[in-house]
Amino acid sequence: MDPHRRFRWFRLHTGAPPDPRFTLANERTFLAWIRTALALLAGGIAIEAFSSELFSDFARLGLAVLLTTLAMVISISAFFRWLRVEQAMRLARPIPPPLQIPMLSLMVAAVTIMFAILLAS
């Protein structure tokens, strides 16, 4: 069996394998995004579980859903980011810009503003 056959869906069978250091750096970046997603998930769970005296049920649920949805989006986009970078390295193309950074920045800013409004009221 061709050892690259299992990677056909990912299109990692084309091009030349990159330097292992770059592949491992790409994996570390993926894991950093996953840690970020896990932190957001933990924050969403903590808000739902422990903030009943701080926020109304609607606000608490809204913040928890927003954080857990953001965690899901970040974890899914981390995989596609890893894949795009791996493909670019194999095909000697420029590394694509990370789309997660502006998304994460805007969403964390939105959550922070929501917290500030809810705590002020």
Q: Model confidence over 69-113: pLDDT tens digits?
A: 999 999 999 999 999 999 999 999 999 998 889 988 998 899 899
If one compares 54 and 27, the residue with the highest pLDDT of the two is: 27
Task: State pTM to two decimals.
Answer: 0.83
Q: In sequence order, which residues have a C-beta less than 8 Å from that of residue 37 and are 6 or more positions away?
A: 71, 72, 74, 75, 78
Residue 112 tokens read as 């922070």
Write the CA distances from 24 to 19, 31, 89, 99, 108, integer angstroms. 9, 10, 12, 21, 28
Residue 15 tokens read as 């091009």
